[in-house]
């Protein structure tokens, strides 16, 4: 299981998140083929190594959850659930391990069409054992 799959699996198994945005509306990369609101797009950038040893490495990854909703209240609820599920959490990533996933920042944009776009940024420290 890679990082993307691990994040998706945590979403799929959380009633608070799936009640606000069903797992089928939580995608990675681009929101192609999704009609209507709400939906969430996960952006996974390239990870960078912070520490390297013979047995493992510690990598840092900055991930973004792009949340698209019809109103501010709905966006706020989704970001609250994101923080509850992912902030200060650790979990397995296949043979590797997310040591901590830390909330970094939120950004909000109200579109002219009434659609809200919120971006929740998290920083992850990952112990990489599967070199």
- Check which CATH number belongs to the domain holding 36 and give it: 3.30.2000.30
Q: Is the pTM of this model over 0.85?
A: yes
User: Could you tell me the residue range of the domain that residue 52 belongs to?
Assistant: 3-128
Q: Which pLDDT does position 21 carry in this prediction?
A: 98
Domain count, the chain: 1
DSSP 8-class letter at 24: G
Q: Which pLDDT does position 131 carry in this prediction?
A: 61
- Cα–Cα distance measured from residue 51 to residue 10, given in angstroms and rounded to the nearest whole number: 26
Q: Which pLDDT does position 55 carry in this prediction?
A: 74
Residue numbers in the chain where pLDDT is lower than 50? none
Q: Which pLDDT does position 48 carry in this prediction?
A: 79
CA-closest candidate to residue 123, choices 67, 63, 83: 63
């Amino acid at each position: 299981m890679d990082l993307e799959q691990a994040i998706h699996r945590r979403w799929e198994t959380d009633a608070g998140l799936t009640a606000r945005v069903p797992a089928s509306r939580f995608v990675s990369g681009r929101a192609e083929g999704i009609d209507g609101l709400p939906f969430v797009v996960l952006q996974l950038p390239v990870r960078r190594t912070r520490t390297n040893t013979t047995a493992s490495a510690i990598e840092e990854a900055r991930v973004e959850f792009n949340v698209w909703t019809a109103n501010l209240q709905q966006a706020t609820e989704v970001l609250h659930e994101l923080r509850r599920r992912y902030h200060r959490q650790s979990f397995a990533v296949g043979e590797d391990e997310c040591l901590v996933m830390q909330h970094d920042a939120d950004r909000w944009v109200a579109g002219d069409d009434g659609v809200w776009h919120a971006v929740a940024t998290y920083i992850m420290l990952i112990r990489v054992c599967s070199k």
